[in-house]
Amino acid sequence: MVFSSTIFLFAFFPLFLAVYFAMPWRAARNVALLVFSLVFYAWGEPVYVWLMVGSILMNWALALCISRAGLRSGPWRKLFLGLAVVANLAILGFWKYQGFLAQNINAVLGEEFLADLQLALPIGISFFTLQALTYIVDVYRGEVKVQKNPLYLGMYIAMFPQLVAGPIVRYSDIEYEIDHRRATLAGFAQGLRLFCVGLGKKVLLANTAGVLADSLLAQDAATIGFIGCFSGVAAYTFQIYFDFSGYSDMAIGMGKMMGFDYPRNFNYPYTARSATEFWRRWHMTLGGFFRDYVYIPLGGNRVSVPRFIVNTMIVWGLTGIWHGAAWNFVLWGLYWGILILLEKFFIMRLLDRLPGFVSHIWCAVLFFFGWLLFAVTGLSNVAEWTAALFGAYGWLGTSTLWELQSWSYVSLVPIFIVGSLPWAPYLRKKLEAWAEGDSHRSIVAAPAKGNSAVPPCQALCEGVVVAPGRARVLAAVNALVDVALVAVFVLSAMAIVSSSYNPFIYFQF
C-alpha cells in the first residue's frame, strides 16, 4: 500500500483517522497507531511483517538490557550494544545484500561458492533498521530513556507515515510526543495542507516525469543518442525529487495531523551551489544519521587530513550501498564523496570568487551525472550513457525525434523547474513583510512552526502583527490557497483513479 493509491486515500487513512480520534486516551491512540501501522505494512508484506515484529521485540529487549546494566557495568553495556548493532546489521545485510554478495563472490571464484537465495527485499527495511539503531545507540549514550513498553517502541519503529520512505525519525525526535503530544485543529489543518502538497508533487509531477524517464532509461544509449539520454536523466532528476520530497511532505503532514513533529527531509536541494550544500538539503535525515552515528564516531574532521579523507569515503561508500545492492550505487556514493573532498580542498576557493550562477550550473551538472549513476543499472550501461551524453552516438542515435517523445514534455519543463524552487517561502515572507508594514497594528498571533514546504500563504497571520484591513486580505489569500490545494487533491485523485501508472521507487531501500 502506498500513499498515492485509492485504497489508502479513500479507505485506510480515513478509517485510521476515525478510529484514532475516537480513542479518548493517548495510550489507546498509540496502540491504534501500532495496529494500523502493522496492517499497512502487512498489506504489501504479509510474511515480512513478522520480521519487523521480531526486530521490534529484539531491540526492545536489548535496549532494556543496556539500561539495566547500568553505567557502572561498562563491559556488559558494550556487549549488549554490540549484539544489537550486529543483529540489526545482520538482518539488513542478509535480506538486502545476500544476493549481491553471492553473485560477486561467485564471479571472483569462478564457481558457485555461495547460493543466491533470490530473497524478496522487505519494503522499507533500511528505514526501520536505521531507526532501530538510532534508538539503541541513543539509549546506550544516555540521550534517551529506555522505552519499557514494547507496544510504544513498536509504534515508533512501525509508524506507517514514515515507514517505507522516510524521513528517518529518531526516537529522540518524538520521545516526548509519545506520551505528551496534542493534536490540535490548527496542526491538523497544517498537516492536511502539507499532505495535499506532497500528493500533488508525487502524482501530478513525479508520475508525469516518470513516464518519460521509464520509457527512455530502459533503452540502449546507442538507440536514443544524446537527446534521448539527456531527456531520460533530466526526467528522472525531476521524478526522484518530486517523488521523494512528495512522500516526505505527506509523511510530515500526517504526523502533524496526529500531533507529531517529524524532522524536515528536503530543503529545495536543486537550488544548491555545491555538492556539500546539495547534501545538506537532500534527504537531510539520512545525512544526519551518517554524520552522527558513523562520521563523528570515526573522528569526524578532528583528525589528520589522510584520516579525514578515509572517514569521508567510508561514509559515502556506506551511503551508496545503503541505497541499493548494486555496484552503480557504490560508484554513486564514491562519486559524491570524491566531489565533496575536491570541493573542500580545491574547488570551493574558486567557486567563491565566481558569480553565483556559475556555482548553480556547477551543482546542476553534478547532480545530473549523479542521477545518471543512480538510475542506469550496470556499469557497462553507465559507460555507454555517459559516452552518449558526450556525443558518441549522435543527437538521436538510431531513433527519430518523434519516437523519443522528448519534445512532448518541453512545455512541462518550466512547471518542473518552478516546482523545485523555493517560491513558496519567498512569497510568504513578502506577504508577511507587507502585512507588517502598516503602523496601525492590532492582531497578534502565535509564532508559526512547521515545514517551510507548507503552502506559501498558509497561516500568514501567525507570528505577524497585522492591521485589520490587511488581515482580511491575508485571510482571503489563505482561503484561495486552500481552494487551490483542494483542487490539487481532486486532480491527484482523478489521476490515480484514471491511470494505472503509479511507480514506487523505494522498493530497493
| Active site amino acids | 323
DSSP-based three-state secondary structure for 249: helix
SS3 content of the chain, % helix, strand, coil (to 5): 70, 0, 30
Sign of CA dihedral 43, 46, 52, 53: positive
Residue 249: count of CB within 10 angstroms of its CB: 28
Cell of 201: 508533487
Residue 147: count of CB within 10 angstroms of its CB: 22
In angstroms, the first-to-last Cα distance of the chain is: 16
Closest CA to 359 of 372, 343, 338, 376: 343
Residue type, position 141, single letter? R
Query: Considering all CA atoms of the chain, what is the largest pairwise distance in Å, rounded to the nearest integer?
Result: 82
Alpha helices in 142-184 (DSSP H): 150-158, 171-180
Cell of 403: 519516437
- Cα gap 293→44, rounded to integer Å: 30
Residue type, position 391, single letter? G
